[in-house]
Structure 1
């Protein structure tokens, strides 16, 4: 197994160690390996390759970092055909959350999420991916369920 060196803030190292202890991992290396596996496999699901998908992307960052908000708005405009809407929220008084609703291909959504994660000073980026084709319904079925 290769040994690598990475840099991260002390607070993140502490959280990593606590997570390893609390969840039965042998150490931080095992947690980092699992996290890397999850991240690398996140968009390798080929069953959605040719589908149009919907996604919600949440980006959380510290309040008072205008360069983050500015970069996120640049991404929003760069991907204007993909971003259906977005909203800026303040949470807990000390954080900002940017919420993006996307509608497009897996490749386009993946690209947007990767670029969002690459923005410096973002605390976290999470997403939800939905395939409208997994829950087919017709207007007649919807109408019937409302009446019946």
Structure 2
């Protein structure tokens, strides 16, 4: 197995070490290997390939970190074909939340989420993806009692 060196904040390293110990991993390398496999596999779901998808992406960051907000604005404009909607909100006394609603294919959504995750100083990036064609047609009697 190849040995690699990775730079990370001390706080993150401490969290990885605690996680490793609390969950019975043999060490931090095992945690990082599993996390890497999970990250790489997130957008390799064959059930999502060749389908029209929608995604919701939420980003949390400190409001004093203007570089994150500027980056979000640039990404929104660079991917305007993908971004169906965008919402910015203040959360608590010190945070901002950016919410993106995306419509596109798996590769485009994956690229967008990757660029968001690669943005320095984000506190949290969460997302969900689902096929648009999964929704059935609306009917006039939806929810009506058959009795």
Q: TM-score, normalised by structure 2?
A: 0.90
In the alignment, structure 1 segments of 5+ residues that lack a partner are none
Instruction: Quote the offset at 1:56 in angstroms.
Output: 0.5
CA distance in 2: counterparts of 1:18 and 1:96, whole angstroms: 29
Aligned equivalents of 2:130, 2:105: Cα separation in 1: 11
1:90 aligns to 2:87 (yes or no): no
Alignment deviations for residues 16-68 of structure 1 (CA, whole Å, 9 cap, x no partner): 11221222222211111111001111111223221110100111222201111
Say whether residues 1:23 and 2:27 are aligned partners.
no
What root-mean-square deviation, in Å, do the aligned CA atoms of Structure 1 and Structure 2 show?
1.5
Per the TM alignment, residue 89 of structure 1 is displaced from its structure 2 partner at its CA by: 2.2
Structure 2 unmatched ranges of 5 or more: none
Aligned to 2:10: 10
Give the 3 Å change call, closer, same or farther, for CA 109–19 of structure 1 in structure 2: same
Runs of 4 or more off by more than 6 Å in structure 1?
A: none
CA deviation vs aligned residue, 1:46-104 (integer Å, no higher than 9, x gap): 23221110100111222201111011111001111111111112334232221111011
2:114 corresponds in structure 1 to 114
Match of 2:143 in 1: 146
Distance in structure 2 (CA, Å) of the matches to 1:108 and 1:15: 32
Q: How many residues align?
A: 145
> Hey, what's the Cα distance between the residues in 1 that align with 2:106 and 2:20?
32
- Structure with the largest fraction of helix: 1
TM-score with structure 1 setting the length: 0.89
